[in-house]
Structure formats: C-alpha cells, structure tokens
Amino acid sequence: MRGLELDTPPCVAAARRFDVARHRPFVIGDAQVGWLREDDARLLQRWPALFEQRGGVVLLAPRFETPDARSAALQEAAVGLLDVGRLRGWRDEIYAIRNRFEAVPFALIERAAARFFGIATYAVHANGVVLPGGADESPGTAADPAPSLWIARRSLAKPTDPGMLDNLVGGGIAWGYGVTEALVKEAWEESGLPETVTERAMVGRSAYILNEVEQGTQVEQLFIFDIALPAGFAPSAQDGEVSEHRQVDLAALGEIIASGTMTVDATIATLDCCQRHGWLRVRDAPAYEALFAPPAPPAGASFFR
C-alpha cells in the first residue's frame, strides 16, 4: 500500500516548545534535575527552609543530603503547593527524580508535582493495530488493504489533557515499575488487554518531549510499542480514565494528527508506528526525526544522558 503524506503536524513544534529565558534550573546536589517557571521559583520563596535561590538557580537545600531526606522535603513542598492551589489532581503516585531511567533516584516526588518542578519523567505508549491478516502477524508485515488503529479518548476527569484523544495504551511509569511492567499494567487498566496479548508487543522507538504546559514543564521520554490486535477485538477501560475507544482508518488518523486533537505524546507515538511501517509520512522529516533524540543543552540540560 502507498502511505499517506502529511504536512508537519502541530505536535512537532509543541514537543520542543520551551524558552530557557522564562525558566530557572532546579538543582539537587550538584545536578540540574528540572526547570521552574520564573513565577513558580518566586512562589517557592515561601519555603526558605526547603529551597535556596542564588545565581538564577533554585536549589533544594543542601542540608537534605540523602534521598529519603530530599523526598520528605519535596513532599512537604508539594503539600504546601496543593494548599495554595498551585497543584491539582493529587495522584498518590510516586515518581522518581532521575535524569536517566536506569539511574539511582536523587529523590522521590508526588506525581502531581512532577511538571511543576520540570523533572524528567517516563511513559509507555502503545498503538493498537488491527492488521488485515489478523493478530498473528506483526505490525507492518501485512500488504493491502491498509491497517486500522484503535485509539482512546481521555476522561474529562483527567488532570492532564482531559477529553483529548490518546493512544490505546498510554501512561506514566511510577517508581517501582519497569517499562514492561508499566506497559502490562496500563494496557489492562485502559483497554482491558490481557498480559498474553501485551507480552507480544513490538518495540518501537523512544521519543523525547520538552514542552511548556499548564502545570509547568513536560520533560518526558516515551517508550513506544505496537500491539497487534485481532479483527474482532473491542477494548474496555477498567479504571475510568478513558471515556471511549474508537477504531480509525489511516485517512481519519491523518486528519486527527493534523487537527491537534490528540495529545502531543500520543501523536508522536502514533506517527512513530505509522512512519516505521510506511503507512504515513511527514514531509518535514528532519524536524520530526529530531524528536527521537534527547533535546540539546541548554534546554535539554543533562536529561536522558
């Protein structure tokens, strides 16, 4: 089949929409671990026992020398930020502060505060692919007719990107989970996919986002997968975070990608699947391909390196 050709979609610019001049580095020990907006840096002056500010840099107070002490200090700050209305959607879920996924964490932090501090986060995204020949084939091996993809719509109750279109599977990786474990967990919760299906997922590429968002800064590495699904499969959300699923052909998918009605990260994951298999093509290939390398310093600091 001949792939569709797309003009550069909005997600390409959005995934690198970041102005260093409007932010201050957030430092733990001697390492930059995040970015803070100027007004958020000023807000942290309410907690002088927790944070120091000098030379345009915001530091977690050096007296917090261990991961446990740092985690406790950041938890106190997060509760304070929630009390003053700066955080919303408290998750009771813990993220690790680490500039590489495999690294030992500097500290742990409540997920709701991750984008406020602009720390590096990690997520799994899986494309649900229905192939003409059925789920016994790997995505990309089938000839005509064209495949279709299952996508989801996020619940209006979600604290981030409510109501937007998303991949069949997508979610942040909490502390204590590996990539595969997180994929299995999210696939079941969001779409009712059993582990016997998820374990056959095809590994895609990793993409990197550095994006100014409402909550602060999204600094995120996406681990992308494709999951081949049988023609009669119907996803079923288990956790209330998805309001609907729909199966779309490539023409409809191209319109969705161009419209910007799908989240930035989900759009990138969708494009990765379609580009790898020759189903869609982005005209401005260099700008798009740049998303699959960590953002360069100074904006990219030492994230993902």
Q: Is 156 found in the same domain as 245? A: yes
pLDDT at 133: 65
Per residue of the chain (305 residues), what is the pLDDT tens digit? 456 788 888 999 999 999 999 999 999 999 999 999 999 999 999 999 999 999 999 999 999 999 999 999 999 999 999 999 999 889 999 999 999 999 999 999 999 999 999 999 999 999 999 987 655 555 554 444 578 999 999 989 888 889 999 999 999 999 999 999 999 999 999 999 999 999 999 999 999 999 999 999 999 999 999 999 988 889 988 877 888 999 999 999 999 999 999 999 999 999 999 999 888 888 878 889 999 999 999 999 999 98
Is residue 302 assigned to a domain? no
Q: Is the pTM of this model over 0.85?
A: yes
Q: Is 112 found in the same domain as 127? A: no
Q: Give how far Cα 258 sits from Cα of 21, 32, 129, 271, Å.
A: 30, 35, 20, 11
Is residue 89 assigned to a domain? yes
pLDDT at 6: 82
Q: Is 214 found in the same domain as 173? A: yes
pLDDT at 230: 86
Q: Which of 223, 224, 228 is nearest to 200 (CA)?
A: 228
Range of the domain at 200: 4-16+121-292
CATH number for the domain harbouring residue 160? 3.90.79.10
d(CA 222, CA 229): 21
Q: Is 239 found in the same domain as 285? A: yes
Task: Please tell me whether residue 43 adopts helix, strand or coil conformation.
Answer: helix
Q: Is 192 found in the same domain as 99? A: no
d(CA 229, CA 62): 51
Do residues 98 and 104 touch, judged by C-beta distance below 8 A? yes
Q: Is 142 found in the same domain as 109? A: no
CATH number for the domain harbouring residue 65? 3.30.750.160
